[in-house]
């Protein structure tokens, strides 16, 4: 199938905007839509069409990409007189890059199927860096033939595309990812706090640890800025806390306890209450500093 079939892209936040730019750069005819219209202006200057509503964005497109903050936002974009389903033609493929709960995914995939549309849940991981570089890891749930249709689109935004099973599997896999992120960021923050209290030369210590058994993405990509008490936005703390709630619910449903995740969630709640909701997840260091 042609890699140049038209795409609508809805949701131009910290991840969505660079992802949409990569879709455009890959040669797809692109129509974008965002609740705040000013977010669409850079893409419009690069050649994308801009729609006022999800229904208008979907009209004439074969693939419909979503990158939104939560399940309520996805539902709002999908349904209603001006929603995506009101404008999308049967046979199209909806690719939801958002991170939402599986119940909402299943509900909306069913609504799409009733109108002859296919659904892939395809949450991503790799941060804003991966979104800009087009190297995200895409975790896909859905039917394999539908994934094959959408593969050129997914390859425009991701370096690794992994099919994990039927609809909902991508969201469940993202829950696993966010548990790992929680533990990794918290461990880095705790270790940095300990190293500083012990009076160690921290820049040299972080450089030494990056390639050892303690090495991680968070240590390599966030620790240097954390030491400077800088938290450049890659992923908002409040969004990660939302994702942890999804993981906690999934674990509860299958009878599994997540003690480390529960502890990190409590720390995040306190930091959000202290005004850090819109800071990067690496702001976890502030809890260990008592700030």
Q: What is the pLDDT of residue 4?
A: 82
Residue where a domain stops, chosen among 120, 138, 165:
165
Which token pair is 158?
Answer: 């991701």
C-beta of residue 131 within 8 angstroms of C-beta of residue 19: yes
Q: Are residues 29 and 150 in the same domain?
A: yes
Give every CB contact of residue 138 below 8 A, 6+ residues apart in sequence.
Answer: 97, 122, 123, 124, 154, 157, 158, 160, 161, 162, 170
Q: Are residues 161 and 195 in the same domain?
A: no
Which token pair is 181?
Answer: 């992120």
Q: Is residue 28 part of a domain?
A: yes
Q: Which of 144, 174, 236, 242 is catalytic?
A: 174
Please give the Cα distance from 34 to 42 (Å, whole number). Answer: 12
Q: Are residues 41 and 157 in the same domain?
A: yes
Q: What is the pLDDT of residue 7?
A: 98
Query: Would strands 93-96 and 30-33 be described as parallel, antiparallel, or unpaired?
Result: unpaired
Residue where a domain stops, chosen among 165, 190, 212:
165
Query: Would strands 63-66 and 124-125 be described as parallel, antiparallel, or unpaired?
Result: unpaired
Q: Are residues 14 and 92 in the same domain?
A: yes
Which token pair is 98?
Answer: 């958002």
Can you give the pLDDT of all 291 residues of the chain as single tens digits? 445 899 999 999 999 999 999 999 999 999 999 999 999 999 999 999 999 999 999 999 999 999 999 999 999 999 999 999 999 999 999 999 999 999 999 999 999 999 999 999 999 999 899 999 999 999 999 999 999 999 999 999 999 999 999 999 999 999 999 999 999 999 999 999 999 999 999 999 999 999 999 999 999 999 999 999 999 888 999 999 999 999 999 999 999 999 999 999 999 999 999 999 999 999 999 998 754
Q: Any idea what the CATH number is for the domain that residue 160 is in?
A: 3.40.50.720
Q: Any idea what the CATH number is for the domain that residue 186 is in?
A: 1.10.1040.10
pTM as predicted: 0.93
Number of folded domains that form the chain: 2
Which token pair is 276?
Answer: 């850090």
Q: Are residues 242 and 146 in the same domain?
A: no
Q: Is residue 2 part of a domain?
A: no
Please give the Cα distance from 145 to 42 (Å, whole number). Answer: 34
Q: Are residues 101 and 193 in the same domain?
A: no
Q: Is 236 a catalytic residue?
A: no
Q: Is residue 14 part of a domain?
A: yes
Q: What is the pLDDT of residue 288?
A: 84
Q: What is the pLDDT of residue 2?
A: 46
Structural domain harbouring 126: 7-165
**Tens digit of each residue's pLDDT (9 = 90 or more) over 81-108:** 999 999 999 999 999 999 999 999 999 9
Ramachandran region of residue 229, left (φ > 0), alpha (ψ -120 to 50) or beta? left
Nearest CA among 21, 54, 55, 52 for reference residue 37: 52
Please give the Cα distance from 167 to 121 (Å, whole number). Answer: 6
Q: Which residues share a beta bridge with 63?
A: 7, 93
Residue where a domain stops, chosen among 115, 140, 165:
165
């Amino acid at each position: 199938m042609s890699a140049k079939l038209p795409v609508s892209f809805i949701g131009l936040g910290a991840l969505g905007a660079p992802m949409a730019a990569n879709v455009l750069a890959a040669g797809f005819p692109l129509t974008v839509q965002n609740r705040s219209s000013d977010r669409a202006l850079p893409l419009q200057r690069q050649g994308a069409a801009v729609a006022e509503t999800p229904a208008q964005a979907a009209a004439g497109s074969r693939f419909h990409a979503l990158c939104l903050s939560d399940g309520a936002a996805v539902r709002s974009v999908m349904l209603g007189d001006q929603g995506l389903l009101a404008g999308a033609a049967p046979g199209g493929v909806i690719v939801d890059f958002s991170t939402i709960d599986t119940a909402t995914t299943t509900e909306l995939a069913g609504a799409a199927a009733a109108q002859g549309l296919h659904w892939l849940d395809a949450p991503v991981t790799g941060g804003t860096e991966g979104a800009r570089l087009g190297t995200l890891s895409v975790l896909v749930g859905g039917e394999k033939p539908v994934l094959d249709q959408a593969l050129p689109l997914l390859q425009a935004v991701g370096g690794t595309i992994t099919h994990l099973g039927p609809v909902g599997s991508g969201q469940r896999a993202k829950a696993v990812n966010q548990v790992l992120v929680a533990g990794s960021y918290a461990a880095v923050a705790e270790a940095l706090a300990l190293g500083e209290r012990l009076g160690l030369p921290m820049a040299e210590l972080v450089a030494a640890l990056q390639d050892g058994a303690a090495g991680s993405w968070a240590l390599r990509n966030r620790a240097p800025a954390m030491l400077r008490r800088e938290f450049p936005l890659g992923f908002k703390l409040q969004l990660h806390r939302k994702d942890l709630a999804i993981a906690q619910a999934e674990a509860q449903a299958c009878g599994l306890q997540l003690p480390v995740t529960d502890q990190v969630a409590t720390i995040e709640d306190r930091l959000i209450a202290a005004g850090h909701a819109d800071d990067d997840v690496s702001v976890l260091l502030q809890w260990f500093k008592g700030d």
